[in-house]
């Protein structure tokens, strides 16, 4: 069974640009979550999608947005990039409504903003 | 406001000994607790979980203990192996499809 796939794995942008990251969940998983990992801050929740609808949202500014498609694939977008947006962006998929809510993570997209 | 806290950024243990990783939480509404392990350049992988109705869950070399009154959980690895060297994240969630809240992680180094 293929795991969670994230593209691109690495990218470099400059301040003010925008970026789109893509995530393909495990087959059969309809819930996709996004997390930002920065040194010293752990994993911070961005948002979660299920059935093309945002179900939960973390405390990030409106520059961070996402969407989910009918095949459960998801994208997140960051507009007007700032230096502080440099981070590892992790996507995770899961079965909606499980008791433990175990998440299956991709390898992440490492964004560097110069 | 950090709801899940891992106060030790790093831990070094000798191979064969016990590793104990600690985690504290502030939200008494958390119902499920999970531990994830992360190697460099890889995504976190699920290790073990525990429901708030239990105080212990064991899976091979890994045991998680939950003390609800102290809002504290710990992960025990015994015996520790060099391959266990990784960053360990504690995570918690409330019931009802709420997001997982993660701690900042503890870097475990198992020395041969």
Q: CA–CA separation, B100 vs A89, rounded Å?
A: 15
CB pairs under 8 A between A and B: 60
- Closest residue of chain A to B102, computed from CA coordinates: A43
- Closest residue of chain A to B87, computed from CA coordinates: A42
Rounded to the nearest 5 degrees, what angle is found at the Cα of B23, between the Cα atoms of B108 and B44? Answer: 55
pLDDT number for residue B26: 96
What CATH number matches the domain at B4-96+105-111, 2.60.40.10, 1.10.8.60, 3.20.170.30, 3.40.605.10? 2.60.40.10
- Option in B6, B34, B97 nearest A96 (CB): B97
Q: Is A99 helix (H, G, I), strand (E, B) or coil?
A: coil
Exposed/middle/buried for residue B82 (C-beta within 10 Å: 0-12, 13-18, 19+): exposed
As a whole number, mean pLDDT of residues B34-55 equals 94
Q: CA–CA separation, A42 vs A88, rounded Å?
A: 10
Cβ of B97 within 8 Å of Cβ of A101? The answer is yes
pLDDT number for residue A100: 64
Cβ of A99 within 8 Å of Cβ of B51? The answer is yes
Binned average pLDDT, 10 residues per bin, chain A of 114 residues? 90 97 94 92 92 93 96 96 96 77 91 97
pLDDT number for residue A41: 82
B1 lies within 8 A of chain A by CB:
no
Nearest to B26 by CA among B68, B56, B64, B57: B68
Interface of A with B in 74-113 (CB under 8 A): 90, 92, 96-97, 99-108
Residues of B in contact with A33 (CB under 8 A): 99-100
pLDDT number for residue A97: 61
pLDDT number for residue B13: 98
Q: Where are the domains of chain B?
A: 4-96+105-111
Question: pLDDT per residue over B57-77, tens digit each?
Answer: 999 999 999 999 999 999 999
Cβ of A43 within 8 Å of Cβ of B32? The answer is no
Cβ of A40 within 8 Å of Cβ of B103? The answer is no
As a whole number, mean pLDDT of residues B69-93 equals 97
């Amino acid at each position: 069974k293929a795991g969670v796939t994230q593209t691109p794995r690495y990218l470099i942008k400059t301040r003010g640009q925008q970026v789109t990251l893509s995530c393909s969940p495990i087959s059969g998983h309809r819930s996709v979550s996004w997390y930002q990992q920065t040194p010293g801050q752990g994993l911070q929740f961005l948002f979660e999608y299920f059935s093309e609808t945002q179900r939960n949202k973390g405390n990030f500014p409106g520059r961070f947005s996402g969407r989910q498609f009918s095949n459960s694939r998801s994208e997140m977008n960051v507009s007007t990039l700032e230096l502080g947006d440099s981070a590892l962006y992790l996507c995770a998929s899961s079965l909606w409504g499980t008791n433990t809510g175990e998440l299956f993570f991709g390898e992440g997209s490492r964004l560097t903003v110069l | 406001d950090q709801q899940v806290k891992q106060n030790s950024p790093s831990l070094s243990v000798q191979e064969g000994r016990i590793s104990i990783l600690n985690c504290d939480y502030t939200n008494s509404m958390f119902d499920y607790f999970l531990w994830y392990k992360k190697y460099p350049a890889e995504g976190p992988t699920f290790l073990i979980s525990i429901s708030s109705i239990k105080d212990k869950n064991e899976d091979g070399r890994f045991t998680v203990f939950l003390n609800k009154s102290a809002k504290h959980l710990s992960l025990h690895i015994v015996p520790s192996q060099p391959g266990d060297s990784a960053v360990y994240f504690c995570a918690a969630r409330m019931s009802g499809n709420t997001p997982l809240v993660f701690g900042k992680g503890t870097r475990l180094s198992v020395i041969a």
